Amino acid sequence: MPEDFYLGVNYWPAESGVNWWEEFRLEEVARDLALMRGMGLNSVRVFLRWQDFQPAPDRVSEDALANFGRLADLARRNRLRLIPTLFTGHMSGENWDVPWRRDRCPYTDPDLLRAQLRLVAELAGRYGRHPAVAAWDLANEHDNFVPLPSASAGWLWAHLLTREIQHLARQPVVLGTHITSFTCRDAFRYPDLGQIHDLLCVHPYPMYSELCPGRPSLPPSTLFPSFCLKLARALG
């Protein structure tokens, strides 16, 4: 498999699921990663649930940081590359929030921006040169978690966090965006992200687009991901 071709999965452990950072089971994770490698995969996208990694704005969980290091070491042993998603407040229709946010905007509130910079600095400073980390994903479809007040606010948020990571880490930074970034006014814009990131990331689900009214196993749905990737590249 070519080094630049990533074939992998979004990963939650089979048993502990979304609570895996609270009840980290090294044996379960080791078993799952070995299974992935046995299936021929070479990459794993993992989700760092915000509430687990930053229980308070001025405190990052040492236990969660250490468990991420254990995960990274296991990935290296299994020849898997990790793509950690840093601010996971949204996943597949479910939202998880930090109790200390108190409805403040993570894109514009100065105290929240400072807290988020603290978390990325801890992670990038500690694991920014770990050989198993392939890239840092800022968030998963973050505007589904908290809507953007403006596209410029999204640019500012992505710019600040990306620059902090780039100051400490050698891996590239991406942002997991979905197809509404093509169509909504107040969304992460690919021309903006293209100024910040060397790589662009698209989640091109056909079922969320009016362009794909038919069966997902037939055109235009089967052509839609390629269309979105080409469009993002052209815009960014």
pLDDT in tens, 141-171: 898 889 999 999 999 999 999 999 999 999 9
Over residues 23-27, mean pLDDT? 94
Please, which pLDDT band fits residue 1 given cuts at 50, 70 and 90?
A: very low
User: pLDDT by residue (tens digit) across 41-65?
Assistant: 999 999 999 999 999 999 999 999 9
pTM attached to this predicted model? 0.94
Please, which pLDDT band fits residue 179 given cuts at 50, 70 and 90?
A: confident
Q: What are phi and psi of 187, to 5 degrees?
A: -145, 170
pLDDT at 3: 60
Neighbouring C-alpha atoms within 13 Å toward the C-beta of 36: 29
Give the dihedral sign, CA 215/217/218/220: positive
User: pLDDT by residue (tens digit) across 80-113?
Assistant: 999 999 998 877 777 889 999 999 999 999 999 9
Percent of the chain surpassing pLDDT 70: 99
Residue 2 has pLDDT above 70, yes or no: no
CA separation (Å) from 97 to 52, 53, 68, 151? 10, 12, 20, 22
Give the dihedral sign, CA 209/215/218/219: negative
pLDDT at 36: 97
User: pLDDT by residue (tens digit) across 199-212?
Assistant: 999 999 898 888 89
Please state the length of the chain: 236
pLDDT at 94: 73
